[in-house]
Structure 1
Amino acid sequence: MRKTMIGLGAVVLALSMSAPAFADHGNDGRGGHGGDAFGRATLTGFAFLPAETYVPGSEPSGAKIGTTPVNGITPPFPGQPVQGFSGVLRRKDGTYDVLSDNGYGNKANSGDFLLRIQRLAPDFRSGKVRAVGGVNLTDPNGRVPFPLTRADRKLTGSDFDVESIVGADDGTYWIGDEFGPFLLHFSSKGVLLEAPIPLPGVKAPENPDLNGGQPNLGGSKGFEGMARSGDGRTLYPMLEGTVAGDPAGALRINEFDVRKRAYTGKRWTYQLEDPANAIGDLISVDRNRFLVIERDNGQGDTAKFKKVFQIDLRDRDKDGKADKTQVADLLDLANPRGLGGFGPTFRFPFQTIEDIVILDDRTLGLLNDNNFPFSSGRTPGKADDNEFITIRLTHDLDADPSCR
């Protein structure tokens, strides 16, 4: 597979080398194109990993979701599915680390789903994605203070709902959880390095420390997205749900100091276009600007809103919310080359689109969370594959190179 990735790596390197140097765009909140709106983005790459892909030699799973076929696939499954991608990191060798999330949708049915960082190798020439490794997430040193599902302390979807991931310069991973919500710090081998770090003043219904108290966040509405500063000293975990008492559709972005292992108390507000929408991911463009996936809950023909926004935390219009500029409409991508066998307009019509990565200053990579085996946004009645697309923007992002 290393051989098949040489072409992609060379393309990405060449594109990256041609990107302009970072500039702080103090004159506007929309990047380096004078505040003009982005136009229609173009599909430049399409590859997929089949839905029924399992980790080799892994344990069976899905025993608690019944035995009735779901989108043509009958549980339980012969292994651990390589699915549910909720965060992506590009590696220097041309492969990608992707985070598989909670498992089958909730704590009750995901106790036999092992949390894992998968490693993928996409080949956009052949249109195929291969799973080439990964690491399970574990807690052998007893950092988690509450009971776990398994005695061997392998972490499962009943313990945490992991939805966002960033890489640290030392090779470790910071992962955002939705059940606490917690920040989790793992080694490069997937070993939990310290106790889960809670978000002060916010608790989801699944939080193990509720002790009869009332949650102020919806179920599994914790850290859906998380960005890091270019220097790696700051994390920006973003809630998927609105905290009780906040305006409808207002989502908090918090600031976390990695060296102090503490929240700074600073936070910003992202306003959903519709309170019924949700976000899928958050990544840094520079110290002030970020990219956010916002989507509705539809799939297939019912999908009406799947967009990427650039936001600016400087709040130039002083309305108390991050400024937003649409970067791409994922339901209306130009496809002049007919990639993937699709027509001149390409739609990314999945219920959950939860992965975005900057490949060069005009190119983004995006993956869907296929909610295996439940989502069927591409073909009704058929479990969605894991699709990996690349899109070309109409304007440069002028991104800080350290954020790519």
Structure 2
Amino acid sequence: MTHPDLGPSQTGNADVDGDGTEERVRTYLLPDLEPRFVRFEYNPNDGNLSITEQVLLRDQNGNPLSGRPNLETDDTGRIPIDEQGNVLEFDPLGADLEGILRAPDGTYWLSDEYRPAIYHFQADGTLIERYVPQGLPPEVGNGVFPEVYNQRRANRGFEAIAYQDGKVYAFIQTPINNPVSQETATIRILEFDPATETITGEYLYIQDDMGGGSDKIGDAAALNQIGEFLVIERDSGFGPDSVKNIYRIDIANATNVLDITLEEGETLEGLSPEELDVRGIEVVTKELYADLAELGYTFTDKPEGLAVVDGDTVAVINDNDFGEGGVPIGLGLVNLSNGLDPSDRDGAI
């Protein structure tokens, strides 16, 4: 299962109020595009892929959601317009969806990039609740996350989402501005308990070299071992020299920093990994699981979907920005089995 995001759009400048001065705008080519679940099937025997179902997403009153921004302060203050230059209304529940999972109870959780937000939907696409950081207008969602999450970089909210042992885990796409996102490699992983609608944990994950390696999260998926997840880290490059890595991470021994107290003036993002270690703060451990670029997944800069197929295989799908730049949607199946079958006698590897 997958989903589209906010829809095709272009950024630029336009005089939208007729005062002779151009404003910063984002043009939504499909402003009423409805977000949705998209189910598909892939047959590895013949290579055929088919869409089997699309479930449109609605609010609690049955009104369609959109991909338009929530507040005037979103998207670095860009004004949303259509192709004719008409100013569009903001949508308090508008979604730039980036991750999806199906919970054991049959409901769905999706992460949102406009801000650190997660949506909870019934199987028929009806919104149950949207959860957001504290300090926002109530029409935007239920403010349960720490208010510091509002300091995310514009349009870099929760990029990845995973479910394990009754908890939802949401991953910020890039470090938050606490104080300056470009000067840190520290990503927050949020642990949310749906049963109590409370935050039960925060863990710190250190991205690779911000100066030349990966600088953003692509997606995440839970593994069977409690505390272990797969996480895509990527840069914005194309080709075999780009950085598109899947890491196996473990939060089991990481410090839960939810209620940790720092010295005056210190922030979690402002401390280097060495400084965190001195303060006894253990970050999430990580090891390379797969180098997607080395394995040939090089036609795109945005592998942003990840799912575990079985113990040896994961599926990766990319965001193609609705075909902009001629990039196709590519589904990759990565098998990392190291098994060797020297005989055919028992039918097993």
TM-score relative to the length of structure 2: 0.68
- RMSD between aligned alpha carbons? 2.9
2:266 is aligned to: none
**How many Å separate the matches in 2 of 1:349 and 1:329?**
14
Letter in 1 for 2:250: D
1:117 is aligned to: 37
Contact 1:357–1:365 (8 Å) recurs in 2: yes
Q: 1:283 to 1:359 in 2, by over 3 A?
A: same
Higher relative contact order (CA 8 A, sep 6+): 1
1:392 and 2:302 are equivalent in the alignment: no
Contact 1:180–1:207 (8 Å) recurs in 2: no
**How many Å separate the matches in 2 of 1:124 and 1:215?**
43
Find the residue that maps to 2:2 and give its secondary structure.
strand
1:185 and 2:147 are equivalent in the alignment: no
Contact 2:116–2:149 (8 Å) recurs in 1: no
Following superposition of structure 1 onto structure 2, how do residues 171-182 of structure 1 map, counting pairs within 5 Å? 171-182=106-117
2:271 is aligned to: none
Find the residue that maps to 1:112 and give its secondary structure.
coil
Cα deviation, 1:249-278, whole Å, max 9, x if unaligned, reads: 2111011001011212x2111111132621
2:131 is aligned to: 197
Cα deviation, 1:278-300, whole Å, max 9, x if unaligned, reads: 11101111221110001110124
Q: 1:201 to 1:227 in 2, by over 3 A?
A: farther
1:365 is aligned to: 315
Contact 2:219–2:231 (8 Å) recurs in 1: yes
Q: 1:208 to 1:225 in 2, by over 3 A?
A: same
**How many Å separate the matches in 1 of 2:162 and 2:60?**
27
268, 286, 299: which is aligned to 1:349? 299
Contact 1:176–1:225 (8 Å) recurs in 2: yes
Q: 1:219 to 1:259 in 2, by over 3 A?
A: same
Following superposition of structure 1 onto structure 2, how do residues 216-295 of structure 1 map, counting pairs within 5 Å? 216-229=151-164, 231=165, 233-245=166-178, 248-264=184-200, 266-275=201-210, 277-285=215-223, 286-295=225-234
Q: Gapped runs of 5+ residues in structure 2?
A: 11-25, 69-93, 256-276, 340-349
Letter in 2 for 1:321: V
1:162 is aligned to: 97
1:304 is aligned to: 242
**How many Å separate the matches in 2 of 1:261 and 1:277?**
30
- CA drift at 1:319: 6.0
**How many Å separate the matches in 1 of 2:321 and 2:315?**
19
Query: What number of residue pairs does the alignment pair up?
Result: 261
- CA drift at 1:202: 9.3
1:137 and 2:57 are equivalent in the alignment: yes
Q: 1:108 to 1:134 in 2, by over 3 A?
A: same
Letter in 1 for 2:236: N
Q: 1:367 to 1:101 in 2, by over 3 A?
A: same
**How many Å separate the matches in 1 of 2:50 and 2:219?**
23
Aligned-residue sequence identity (percent) comes to 28
Find the residue that maps to 2:128 and give its secondary structure.
coil
Contact 2:297–2:332 (8 Å) recurs in 1: no
**How many Å separate the matches in 2 of 1:166 and 1:386?**
20
**How many Å separate the matches in 2 of 1:186 and 1:214?**
22
**How many Å separate the matches in 2 of 1:240 and 1:214?**
12
- CA drift at 1:208: 12
Cα deviation, 1:362-398, whole Å, max 9, x if unaligned, reads: 11111111111224xxxxxxx22221121111569xx
Contact 1:254–1:263 (8 Å) recurs in 2: yes
**How many Å separate the matches in 1 of 2:286 and 2:189?**
14
